[in-house]
Structure 1
Amino acid sequence: MIPAGRPRRWRLLLFGAGDFACNLYWQSVTLYLLFFYTDVLGIAPVTAGLIYMAGAIWDGVADMLAGMIAQRGQYGYRRLIGWTAVPLGIAFVLLYRRPGIGTIGGVVAAQLAFRALYALVNIPYAAWSVRISEDSRDRTVVAGARMLFGAGAATIVALGIPWIAERAGGSAISVEGYGAAAAVFALVATPLLLFVVAMTPEAIPDVPALRPSIAHCVSALGRNRAFVTLNAAMAAAGIAATLLNQSVLYYHRHVVGDMATGAATLVLMGLVGVGVVPLWTLAATRIGARSTWFVAAALGIVCAAIFAVPVSGGAMARPFLIGMQVALVGFNLTGWALLPDTIDHGEAAGGIRVEAMAFGVSALVQKLAIAVAVLMIGTVYGSIGYVGSGSASATTATGITWLMIAGPALATALSVVAMAANPLRRGAHAAAMAELHRRRGT
């Protein structure tokens, strides 16, 4: 069963290190894959957006299927991760190769394979966090550790891909260079995942309905108000993050006219993300994760409003991006801290405990949100006459800028509406756990 005593802090941190490996993969896909398609492989932006959207939708379906396998299977979370870590590293390298079976077909096939294997690693890993501890503070620390390692990985990806690509392929936008960077990241991520699996025990919850039917799981999640509203807020935040992060390279290359500054800004955003994770973790443990979400949202909206002022000009771009990055880290931290608590809340309210499928459904929602955001980028860029090579027109530059400002701001506002309806106010999870202990006689 889940340990009654609180685990030692080093175990929480060790478990969180698994997100460093996962984010070497995920951050490269988030920050560079769409750019790789349009500016390295030369795929038209609308087509590239559709390919990325299809991959993101499949990613969500794969997450759902991985959740079903982990929820209903007899394998255990750590065993699933151990089986899939090596194939995932291989698939990641193939993602950044020039396709050999026709450009579009090869790109799609590589995406589908990578995202399916990533789901079989990431969903069991995320669900595993529920079994580390039943204490909200420990779960917040785990979320903070995961965010810290994830932000560190984002920094390394932002800096490492152009640096490795230029040295291995002779250019920061070469296929050979991107392939070399992917190989380096896979050689780091794979053994790290296997180390976390080897060193972290997995306790099995002592609950009678550990493996309810898929239909009962879906029904229970639909009735779980805490789960539904949290995922709505996280989806809105995911749209904001995708619109912002995907815009950085395009903005600096075609509006500022300096791609190197864009890569440097991504690195700086990653470093800032690392620095603010402890602050958001402290805030969430002091005032509660739900309240911390509102603080992060206020920061994001203020940053967008300031950058939107015409007199701010390009000089405010980097402060705007850094401020938004701080807010996005706050969303991620609080979202992952609250998600395990929604599982306990749902069991206390409905009598059915849904673990792995909850993370699978949540991941599906987030990937659909990313797909929507990328399709928005492809559609808007297509309508403003974006071309991957050459200089951008004034209309194109204006469209890139406003999508980067208004899109994240509107999505952030929608996340506030969703989080306002979430019932996990301070003390609500403790009350749910008290009820569960009463029922179990523990």
Structure 2
Amino acid sequence: MQSSPVSAPPPQATPGPSLPRIALFASGDFACNLYWQSLSFFLLFFYTDALRLSPAVAGLVLLLGSVWDGVADLLVGIQAERSRRDYRWFLSMGAIPLGLGFVLLYVAPPLDGALLVAAVLALHLLFRALYAFVNIPYSAMTARITGDSGQRALISGLRMLFGTAAALVVALGTERIAAASPGGLAGTRGYLTAALLFGAVGAALLLVVGRGSPAAPGPGRPPLAIGAAMRVLARNRAFVTLNLAMAGIGMAATALTRSVLYWFHYVVGDAGGGPAALAMMGFAGALFVPMWMAVGTRTGMRGLWFAATAVGAIAVAVFAAAGGNDAWTAQVFLVVMQAALVGFNLVFWAMLPDTVEYGEHRAGGRVEALGFGVSALTQKVALGLAAALMGIVYQAVGYRPEVAQTPETIAGIRWVMLLVPALCFAASALVMRANPLRRGAHAAIVADLAQRPQDREGYREG
């Protein structure tokens, strides 16, 4: 079989998009995070305290949802990689179904026992599949609309600003809507009302983004066969190490953010303090994004990862040593931890598109949406494992909703919120040391790709 060229024209061959169109594209993260932050902040608590599922069962639902989400991400990545459609098509087609799927996530089925668990799981899997259909092509657009690493870092920073704004809206909005509804955070009506509002806003915004973002057409060449594309990714050390490091951070973030409601409700004794703390984390995150972007211009994105590791490690050590159970100490700790998490996320989303050119340079083939799908699979499995671990630990230490917790349960909640993030931060830093995308490396790769003959041969298809 004749070989076919697999490398697209160098990304710098076309002018980058204007700042207004970049901002419009980045605003899609506000819509995605209305859904994702609600799932991260409230869904476990909704399952245990509103639907009264046991912690172990709730954690298992989240684990199965994350694994299925990862599989769906991979399948969508394969389809988008091989499709001739502009990635914006996926946003336009999936926006309304995704909004409806999010609303169904917070429906309380009038069932009991195994039937209730089955219904909750089915609705959870439906939402995850719809989210993958929209989010994977949206994320992969960054690798097509610009090939400049500086502009990609700007896009990542703007996306994070929109994402943290959504986190603030979700944390404050859900708490206020729940407070005005029967049962408060332990009832079901407030969650559903919030979901209806966020679902409508998210769907409308994604439709606008799908129609108005910079074009992200296909590269104009036959896609690699799946086996060849997977080999390109496996040989891409920048891609592999970045994703393994981020998997550790995802586990840390899950253990931290999903502990907040339990910590304030049962340790601090302030049920309303948890949503307020989550909102403060979102607000602080928006402030830290510009700071980290400025630091990244000096250290490079890889260096920024180690700076964020240091911030997180110091925060855990100080909070553990302080040993306080008051709201103020916990809030300061969470804000500093949010600063670290913002740094990690900025690095990840800025560097992930750069791994596309690294793989093309080293392995001879360009892999875009499939790489984002594999990346999402890795992250979702990590998130699911962390959620399942939380459920197992909470079950083991005797957690029961809406009762005073024993000292053993309080200790379990505390160490999930501290020990898991500390270990994951350390592991991620060790992995990131092996990442080759040091400062200036991507620009050199793009320049070298631009000088290569356009008729060079790459992987054979098949």
What is the TM-score of this pair, normalised by structure 2? 0.93
Equivalent in the alignment of 1:83: 93
CA distance in 2, matches of 1:208, 1:431: 24
Equivalent in the alignment of 1:228: 240
CA distance in 2, matches of 1:168, 1:132: 44
1:132 paired residue among 141, 145, 149? 145
CA distance in 2, matches of 1:203, 1:107: 36
Matched position secondary structure for 1:386: coil
Equivalent in the alignment of 1:174: 187
2:436 paired residue among 413, 416, 423? 423
Equivalent in the alignment of 1:58: 68
**Residue 141 in structure 1 maps to residue 166 in structure 2:** no
CA distance in 2, matches of 1:120, 1:31: 22
**Residue 122 in structure 1 maps to residue 135 in structure 2:** yes
Structure 1: tracts of 5 or more residues without a match: none
What root-mean-square deviation, in Å, do the aligned CA atoms of Structure 1 and Structure 2 show? 1.5
Contact 2:86/2:218, CA 8 A, preserved across alignment: no
CA distance in 1, matches of 2:232, 2:158: 29
**Residue 108 in structure 1 maps to residue 118 in structure 2:** no
More deviation, 7-16/269-278: 7-16
CA distance in 2, matches of 1:97, 1:311: 39
**Residue 98 in structure 1 maps to residue 88 in structure 2:** no
Deviation at residue 254 of structure 1 after TM alignment: 1.1
Equivalent in the alignment of 2:53: 43
Contact 2:87/2:216, CA 8 A, preserved across alignment: no
Equivalent in the alignment of 2:459: none
Contact 1:140/1:285, CA 8 A, preserved across alignment: no
Greater share of helix residues, 1 or 2? 1
CA deviation vs aligned residue, 1:35-76 (integer Å, no higher than 9, x gap): 100000000000110011101111111111110110112332
Matched position secondary structure for 2:103: helix
Aligned identity (percent) is: 48
Equivalent in the alignment of 1:338: 351
What letter corresponds to residue 353 of structure 2 in structure 1?
P
CA distance in 2, matches of 1:287, 1:141: 15
Equivalent in the alignment of 1:327: 340
CA distance in 2, matches of 1:53, 1:41: 17
What letter corresponds to residue 72 of structure 1 in structure 2?
R
Contact 1:22/1:189, CA 8 A, preserved across alignment: yes
CA distance in 2, matches of 1:393, 1:306: 25
Contact 1:64/1:363, CA 8 A, preserved across alignment: yes
Deviation at residue 206 of structure 1 after TM alignment: 4.2
Equivalent in the alignment of 1:252: 264
Equivalent in the alignment of 1:26: 36
Deviation at residue 169 of structure 1 after TM alignment: 4.0
CA distance in 2, matches of 1:280, 1:423: 21
Contact 1:50/1:375, CA 8 A, preserved across alignment: yes
Equivalent in the alignment of 1:218: 230
Contact 2:267/2:325, CA 8 A, preserved across alignment: no
CA deviation vs aligned residue, 1:57-114 (integer Å, no higher than 9, x gap): 1111111111011011233211111111111111110110012463111101100110
What is the TM-score of this pair, normalised by structure 1? 0.97
Relative to structure 1, the CA distance from residue 440 to residue 176 in structure 2 (aligned partners, 3 Å threshold; closer, same or farther) is farther
Equivalent in the alignment of 2:445: 432
Matched position secondary structure for 1:387: coil
Equivalent in the alignment of 1:307: 319
Deviation at residue 204 of structure 1 after TM alignment: 3.1
Contact 2:88/2:216, CA 8 A, preserved across alignment: no
Contact 1:100/1:106, CA 8 A, preserved across alignment: no
Matched position secondary structure for 2:224: coil
Equivalent in the alignment of 1:4: 14
Equivalent in the alignment of 2:255: 243
Equivalent in the alignment of 2:460: none
Deviation at residue 313 of structure 1 after TM alignment: 5.0
Equivalent in the alignment of 1:364: 377
Deviation at residue 131 of structure 1 after TM alignment: 1.3
CA distance in 2, matches of 1:245, 1:306: 18
Contact 1:21/1:189, CA 8 A, preserved across alignment: yes
Contact 2:85/2:218, CA 8 A, preserved across alignment: no
Contact 2:70/2:376, CA 8 A, preserved across alignment: yes
